[in-house]
């Protein structure tokens, strides 16, 4: 229990001190007009209260990650606590804050366009395709996930496909309607469900006879059933993504950058939402380690149920929180993916609008961009959910890598302390490259070969990045200043 409490305290202190340091590094300008104020269009560029933007950002980035990812990550043992805390503060908070603020400074541009400014046109074209594909994956995954959960909650009263169509209908409306007409009105209610769920689980942890494993040298090992098949590095760092660092967050931040009234609100919205998500992930990792008696019991239960994290979340909610509490928790579990799926499609529409320079004031233009996205997503619902999720996991962290290198380039160009993202960029590059070499959906190389390949790939990326900086620093700085 002590390690768990200390972990929460460190997350809070990380927000108070390190997030404030990141704000100083960026250098906010309270008097600078934000896109919401200077480019208001009553559709996407809409000034909103900071608390509403925080709620939207938190739910946008949360999804199933801090729940399902934390359950799967808990199978590794207390090492998950360390990654959630250190990842959220030193990687996730920095990634989310700077990606959001850079969008804010560049008229609310989508992340692919921001990447193009600092890493060049070739990377921009690649990122345009990459982010659109990723967001369609996210939207599809977050249709099937909640549809199956609701089907389970209703004891199969309707077909799963009925719920799929209902969720698609909501996604279609939330993608098309002005952000203040549907999303900003529903999200506070969804957010309340998430917070009640998390608070309820914490109360049960503190009041019942649960013994959360401590972070000790003996416990900082791979506790999965087959450590050789699931090595702690890099698997843990991809498994727990949204609860530590996730590239998907950078696709969501521009939505909020178009609604912020003052740069001062950026810390609370971007870093604050990430740290809050870290707390949620910590709670779910802790309850997963104790609900099934211990980490070994969790691994055995997951093996019996084909590593079905949705089943585990359902069991934990119903049994730990009882009838009413369990229903609230399940509402939170359903709300989490739905509030990421809807904005995944919305941000995909905005990326395409940025690419084609298409004004979004007219509904017909929003329809032109949105209808093909939903057709593709519906086709993808026929693909096995597990396959989509595995590829999303790797592509998600790869996007985080590109965004971290983009922020690092920006900081170097501005003569600011670049180490705040340089170190996470190197680490996450090693994670992402090693993972694709070792994972079943990748090259399935033996561990030693994958580690060697990951090291060489990371070294090559660092060398190429440094060469790019030396060659283009003056050009990029002059372009941005003009």
Both tokens assigned to 90: 């030193």
Indicate if the alpha-carbon torsion angle 428, 432, 438, 440 is positive or negative.
Answer: positive
Both tokens assigned to 76: 């590794």
Both tokens assigned to 106: 């560049």
Q: Is the pLDDT of residue 148 over 80?
A: no
Mean pLDDT of the chain: 90
Closest by CA to 352, choosing from 105, 56, 135, is 135
pLDDT value of position 478: 63
Tell me the pLDDT tens digit for each residue of 353-406.
999 999 999 999 999 999 999 999 888 887 665 565 667 778 889 999 999 999
What is the tally of helices (H) and strands (E) in the chain?
21, 0
More confident residue, 91 or 334: 91
pLDDT value of position 326: 64
pLDDT value of position 100: 97
Closest by CA to 397, choosing from 234, 241, 233, is 241
**Residues contacting 389, CB < 8 A, separation 6+:** 141
pLDDT value of position 389: 62
Model confidence pTM above 0.85: yes
Give the separation between CA 268 and CA 317, rounded to whole angstroms: 29
Give the separation between CA 472 and CA 480, rounded to whole angstroms: 12
H helical segments located in 30-120:
35-38, 50-62, 70-74, 79-86, 93-105, 111-119
Q: How many CB atoms lie under 10 A from the CB of residue 272?
A: 21
Please say whether the beta carbons of 216 and 82 come within 8 A: no
Q: How confident is the model at residue 145 (pLDDT cuts 50, 70, 90)?
A: confident
pLDDT value of position 157: 76
Give the separation between CA 316 and CA 329, rounded to whole angstroms: 9
Give the separation between CA 154 and CA 430, rounded to whole angstroms: 43
| Least confident among 97-106, 316-325, 385-394 | 385-394
Q: Is the pLDDT of residue 190 over 80?
A: yes
What does each C-alpha distance from 377 to 36, 124, 176, 197, 341 come to in angstroms? 30, 24, 16, 30, 11
Tell me the pLDDT tens digit for each residue of 218-269.
889 999 988 988 999 999 999 998 889 999 999 999 999 999 999 999 999 9
Give the separation between CA 14 and CA 101, rounded to whole angstroms: 19
Q: Which region, left, alpha or beta, applies to residue 27 given φ > 0 means left and ψ of -120 to 50 means alpha? A: left
pLDDT value of position 1: 79
Which domains are delineated in the chain? 2-390 (1.20.1740)
Give the separation between CA 357 and CA 234, rounded to whole angstroms: 39
pLDDT value of position 477: 66
pLDDT value of position 388: 59
* Average pLDDT of the residues in 170-189: 92
**Residues contacting 99, CB < 8 A, separation 6+:** 111, 114, 249, 250, 253, 270, 403, 406, 407
What torsion, rounded to 10 degrees, do the Cα atoms 466, 467, 471, 474 define?
0
Please say whether the beta carbons of 171 and 343 come within 8 A: no
pLDDT value of position 169: 93
* Average pLDDT of the residues in 300-310: 89
Helix, strand, coil % over all residues of the chain, rounded to 5: 75, 0, 25
Q: Which region, left, alpha or beta, applies to residue 120 given φ > 0 means left and ψ of -120 to 50 means alpha? A: left
7 cis-preceded (ω within 30 degrees of 0): no
């Amino acid at each position: 229990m002590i390690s768990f409490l200390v972990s929460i305290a460190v997350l809070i202190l990380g927000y108070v001190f390190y997030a404030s340091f990141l704000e100083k590094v960026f250098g906010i300008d309270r008097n600078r007009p934000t896109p919401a104020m200077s480019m208001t269009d009553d559709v996407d560029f809409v000034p909103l209260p900071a608390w509403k933007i925080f709620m939207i950002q938190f739910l946008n980035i949360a999804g199933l990650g801090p729940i399902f990812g934390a359950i799967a990550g808990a199978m590794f043992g207390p090492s998950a606590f360390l990654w959630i805390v250190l990842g959220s503060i030193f990687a996730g908070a920095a990634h989310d804050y700077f990606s959001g603020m850079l969008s804010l400074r560049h008229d609310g541009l989508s992340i692919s366009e921001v990447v193009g400014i600092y890493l060049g046109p070739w990377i921009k074209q690649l990122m345009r395709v990459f982010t659109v594909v990723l967001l369609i994956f996210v939207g599809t995954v977050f249709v099937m996930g909640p549809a199956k959960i609701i089907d389970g909650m209703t004891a199969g009263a309707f077909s799963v496909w009925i719920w799929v169509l209902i969720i698609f209908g909501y996604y279609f409306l939330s993608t098309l309607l002005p952000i203040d007409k549907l999303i900003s009105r529903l999200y506070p209610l969804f957010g309340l469900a998430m917070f009640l769920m998390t608070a309820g689980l914490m109360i049960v942890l503190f009041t019942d006879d649960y013994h959360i494993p401590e972070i000790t040298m003996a416990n900082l090992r791979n506790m999965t059933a087959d450590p050789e098949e699931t090595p702690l590095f890099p698997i843990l760092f991809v498994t727990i993504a949204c609860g530590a660092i996730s590239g998907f967050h950078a696709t969501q931040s521009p939505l909020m950058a178009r609604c912020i009234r003052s740069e001062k609100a950026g810390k609370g919205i971007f870093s604050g939402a990430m740290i809050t998500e870290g707390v949620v992930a910590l709670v779910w990792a802790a309850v997963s380690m104790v609900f099934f008696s211990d980490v070994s019991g969790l691994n055995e239960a997951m093996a019996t149920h084909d590593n079905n994290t949705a089943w585990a979340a359902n069991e934990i909610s119903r049994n730990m929180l009882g009838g009413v509490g369990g229903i609230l928790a399940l509402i939170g579990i359903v709300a989490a993916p739905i509030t990421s799926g809807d904005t995944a499609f919305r941000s995909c529409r905005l990326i395409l609008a940025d690419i084609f320079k298409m004004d979004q004031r007219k509904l017909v233009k929003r329809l032109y961009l949105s209808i093909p996205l939903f057709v593709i997503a519906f086709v993808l619902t026929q693909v096995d959910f597990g396959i989509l999720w595995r590829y999303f996991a790797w592509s998600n962290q790869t996007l985080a890598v590109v965004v971290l290198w983009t922020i690092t380039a920006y900081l170097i160009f501005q003569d600011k302390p670049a180490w705040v993202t340089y170190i996470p960029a190197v680490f996450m590059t090693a994670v992402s490259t090693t993972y694709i070499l070792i994972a079943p959906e990748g090259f399935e190389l033996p561990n030693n070969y994958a580690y060697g390949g990951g090291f060489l790939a990371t070294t090559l990326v660092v060398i190429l990045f440094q060469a790019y900086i030396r060659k283009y620093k003056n050009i990029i700085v002059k372009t941005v200043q003009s």
